[in-house]
Amino acid sequence: MDISLIGGDARIGMLAETAAHKGNRVLCCGLDMYGFGEGCLLTDSTRVAIRSSKVIILPLPVSRDGINLFAPLSYFGIKLDDITKYLGEEKIVLGGMINKEYQKEMEKTGAKVIDYFEREELNILNAVSTIEGALEIAMHETDTTVFDSDVLVVGYGRLGKVAANRFDAMGAKVTVTARKKSDLAWINVGGYNSINTKDIYKYIGGYNIIINTVPHIVLGEKELSKAEKGTIIIDLASQPGGTDFEFAAKRGIKAIAALSLPGKVAPKSAATVIFDTISGILDEYNLE
């Protein structure tokens, strides 16, 4: 199969190599700073990359600012408009965390557009790499062990579930927040302490590590004004995150926006997860 990969970080570079090793013809664009092994061709032309392949793979996330493709390894940068300009109805585009308006723009060209980040299998495995990265940050940024630390996990979605499990396994005293009564019940069944997310401000002073997974402000002035100054906040939520970073800085609280951790701490594993997910999607379209 002919596959073009455009933009992305080390995950996409390793994904390209994995696809090539599986016998695909792989063309890469916007990955100039990645050192490729055998089997991958390079081009600096978005037009050539798109017109050379039926399957186009875009990064995770596709964009951070809604204007430029996420391409930290590109010397020149790629505009989102450069992608839509050359698409056509014969193309299958796979990208991660695609803005819905941009997805509509791509679909207007007749291309089939699929957000692989919406696949549950990818999100579950992606959460594991993310939380391992959060553990690494916690160990580097604190002057105590994770063992016996008081850890607050905000939110009980995929990331929250894995975070609670991994920090508990390290010997931390874990409390998890949620809003639904059913989630609070499951948190207690899991052996963790639980509090309602709306009541964080009442208890936040008792934790030295806080892991936020909620993508809207839950750690604002009301909450942070009651937090200890030595508290470390690791915010894993997508932009803008769930922390008032400006107020945290004023309070002397170290708040870290930890985005795209899988690509930073475990790019090879992250690439394998993305490749397996995309392979499953292409199988559904009878493409090999």
39-79, pLDDT tens digit by residue?
Answer: 899 999 999 999 999 999 999 999 999 999 999 999 999 99
Q: Where in the chain is the domain with CATH 3.40.50.720?
A: 2-118+267-284, 122-257
pLDDT at 105: 97
Rounded to the nearest 10°, the torsion over CA 199, 204, 209, 211 is 20
Do 6 and 262 contact (CB within 8 A), yes or no? Answer: no
pTM: 0.80
Burial of 111 (0-12, 13-18, 19+ CB in 10 A): buried
Which residues of the chain fall below pLDDT 50? none
How many other C-beta atoms can be found within 10 angstroms of the C-beta atom of residue 271? 24
Phi and psi at residue 88, to the nearest 5°: -150, 175
Do 42 and 36 contact (CB within 8 A), yes or no? Answer: yes
- As beta bridge partners, residue 49 has none
Give the N- to C-terminal CA distance of the chain in Å, as an integer: 6
CATH class, range 122-257: alpha beta
pLDDT at 288: 55
Determine the residue type at 256.
I
2-118+267-284 fold:
Rossmann fold (3.40.50)
pLDDT at 261: 87
pLDDT at 239: 83
